[in-house]
Amino acid sequence: MALVDVRGVSKRFGGLTAVSDVDLTVNAGEVHCLIGPNGAGKSTLFKLIVGLYPPTSGSILFDSTDITTERPFARVQRGMSIKMQAPSVFKELPVRQNIQIALQERLSGAECAAEEERLLTLLNLAEDSGKLAGALSHGQQQWLEIGMALALQPQLLLLDEPTAGMSPEETYKTGELIKSFNAEGMTVLVVEHDMAFVRQVAQRVTVLHLGKIFARGSLEAILEDEKVAEIYLGKTHAH
Ligand SMILES: Nc1ncnc2c1ncn2[C@@H]1O[C@H](COP(=O)(O)OP(=O)(O)OP(=O)(O)O)[C@@H](O)[C@H]1O
């Protein structure tokens, strides 16, 4: 069943068409990776899905409801949560308090405390929970932000380049983290450049190029597609 159904969506910025007549379905329960060269329109498509931009044309359905004109906050209430490209944790506050702030929307008292511990452990941040978020490594800050997105217990989690700037070890751990909450039923749409990571997590892959869907399917099928290799994988297909 499609949890997200993007139908014929376009987004123009003046004379530039960043996203052009895109159809995309994300099935409930899958990890779906969106790949493509710089400027392909991936972040714009994410912003269209979460409502940060209105589309120029087309429609977006979430759980079979047309949400094209809904505000971002209403989409969050429906069960969407996003982690944008740059980490935006509260750097001057302790790690634990960052998680608490994110949980406050939904939980209080003992329930909040229990969920706080569960998330800190899941994120490998329990030992550093008293540190200021700004003192964490870049990778840990990304995990903290993923945790803040998870605190909303979304049905759909959108992650825009969650491993940017991470070491290979941190990247691998991030993949395992995503797989663990996907195993609990969360649907994940993730933009990534790192092919080893895509191989680790993706059940389906969509390639975007110049704002259009260029290919879709399993990673294996996509890697065999010479046109895809030409536009994109030739540069980054290192594994
Ligand atoms: N707010 C905006 N105003 C004008 N042009 C924009 C805006 N946002 C994106 N663009 C343009 O739209 C195109 C797609 O950009 P987008 O950031 O969606 O690509 P991307 O695939 O996410 O790239 P990257 O991998 O570098 O993050 C680019 O040409 C970009 O310059």
Domain boundary (153, 178, 202) is at 153
Domain boundary (153, 169, 195) is at 153
HSE value, Cβ hemisphere, 13 Å, CA-based, for 185 = 4
The CA 66 to ligand 1 mean position distance, Å, reads 25
Percent of the chain with pLDDT over 90: 77
Q: To which residue do tokens 């840990």 refer?
A: 140
What pLDDT does 87 receive? 72
Contact 161, 169 (CB under 8 A): no
Residue 60 and residue 164 in one domain: yes
- Section 120-135 average pLDDT: 95
Residue 9 and residue 58 in one domain: yes
Report CA-CA distances (Å) from 152 to 26, 36, 157: 20, 29, 10
What pLDDT does 147 receive? 92
Residue 142 and residue 169 in one domain: no
pLDDT digits (tens, 9 = 90+) for 184-217: 999 999 999 888 999 999 999 999 999 999 999 9
Assess whether pLDDT exceeds 60 at residue 233: no
**ipTM attached to this prediction:** 0.96
Q: Specify the residue with its C-alpha closest to ligand 1, atom 6.
A: 13
Can you state the percent helix, strand and coil of the chain, rounding each to 5?
40, 25, 30
Local confidence band at 232 (pLDDT 50, 70, 90 cut-offs): low
Local confidence band at 84 (pLDDT 50, 70, 90 cut-offs): confident
Assess whether pLDDT exceeds 60 at residue 136: yes
- Section 148-168 average pLDDT: 92
Query: Which residue out of 11, 20, 22, 44 has the highest number of ligand 1 atoms within 8 Å of its CB and is therefore the one to mutate?
Result: 44
Residue 218 and residue 115 in one domain: no
Residue 134 and residue 17 in one domain: no
Question: Under DSSP, is residue 106 helix (H, G, I), strand (E, B) or coil?
Answer: coil
Count of domains in the chain? 2
**Domain range for residue 227?**
1-79+159-239
DSSP conformation class of 206: E
Local confidence band at 168 (pLDDT 50, 70, 90 cut-offs): very high
For residue 131, report the phi and psi dihedrals to the nearest 5 degrees.
-75, 155
Residue 138 and residue 207 in one domain: no
Which ligand 1 atom is the nearest neighbour of the CA of 193?
Answer: 25
Q: How many CB atoms are closer than 10 A to CB 132?
A: 16
Local confidence band at 239 (pLDDT 50, 70, 90 cut-offs): very low
Torsion of CA 64, 1, 10, 207, to 10 degrees: 160
The CA 43 to ligand 1 mean position distance, Å, reads 7
Q: Which residue has the higher pLDDT, 227 or 40?
A: 40
The CA 39 to ligand 1 mean position distance, Å, reads 5
Residue 126 and residue 199 in one domain: no
What pLDDT does 238 receive? 41
Which ligand 1 atom is the nearest neighbour of the CA of 37?
Answer: 25
Domain boundary (134, 153, 172) is at 153
pLDDT digits (tens, 9 = 90+) for 36-82: 988 999 999 999 999 999 999 999 999 999 999 999 999 999 999 99
Contact 18, 57 (CB under 8 A): no
The CA 113 to ligand 1 mean position distance, Å, reads 40
What pLDDT does 234 receive? 53
Q: Ligand 1: residues whose CB is within 6 Å? A: 13, 16, 18, 36, 38-44
Q: Specify the residue with its C-alpha closest to ligand 1, atom 7.
A: 13
Question: Under DSSP, is residue 93 helix (H, G, I), strand (E, B) or coil?
Answer: coil
- Section 10-29 average pLDDT: 97
Give the span between the Cα atoms of 239 and 58, in whole angstroms.
37
What pLDDT does 228 receive? 80
Assess whether pLDDT exceeds 90 at residue 119: yes
Residues 6+ apart with CB under 8 A from 19: 9, 10, 11, 41, 44, 45, 48, 55, 211
